[in-house]
Amino acid sequence: MRARLLSAVVFAAALAGGTAPAVATDTSSLSAFLAGCSTDTKSCHSFAEQGASSAKSANYGCIPASLSAEEAGNQLLDWMKGPASADPKYKTMSLEDVMWDGVDALWPCHK
C-alpha cells in the first residue's frame, strides 16, 4: 500500500510538473480513456508511457530494467485495451488505479 501511495504521488507530480505530455484524452475512467484512444492514439501512448516511467522511477512493481519506458508503456496500454477492458471492475475505476493494477499484473514482484 505504501509503495502504491508513493507511486501515486510520483505519478501526480510528474503530471503536474509538466514532464508528461499534454493529454487531450479523458482520463477519468478506463472506459473514457479507451474511447478517446480511438481518435488520439498519440496521447494514449504518451500517458501509458508516463505511467510506466513513473512506476519504474518509484520502484513500483518489478518492471525489467532492460524494458524501455516506451516498450513498458505499449505493454501497459495493450493490457488496458485487452484484459482490463474486458473486466467489469475496471470500467469506472480511476485510470491511475487501473494503471497500477496493470503494473502489478504485467510485472509482479516474486517474493
Cβ neighbours, 10 Å, residue 98? 24
Query: Residue 1: its pLDDT value, please?
Result: 47
Please state, for a pLDDT cut of 90, what percent of the chain lies above it.
Answer: 49
Q: Would 63 be classed as within a structural domain? A: yes
Query: Residue 26: its pLDDT value, please?
Result: 84
Kindly give, in sequence order, each residue whose CB lies less than 8 Å from that of residue 67, ignoring residues fewer than 6 positions away.
75
Query: Residue 93: its pLDDT value, please?
Result: 85
pTM: 0.76
Q: Would 111 be classed as within a structural domain? A: no
How far from 75 is each of 64, 68, 86, 101, CA to CA, in Å? 12, 11, 16, 13
Query: Residue 73: its pLDDT value, please?
Result: 94
- Residue 109 identity (one-letter amino acid): C
> How far is 53 from 75, CA to CA, in rounded Å?
12
Counting the structural domains of the chain, the total is 1
Q: Would 55 be classed as within a structural domain? A: yes
Q: Would 32 be classed as within a structural domain? A: yes
Q: Would 48 be classed as within a structural domain? A: yes
Residues of the chain with pLDDT under 50: 1-3, 5-7, 9-10, 13-23
The domain of 17 spans 2-106
Q: Would 24 be classed as within a structural domain? A: yes
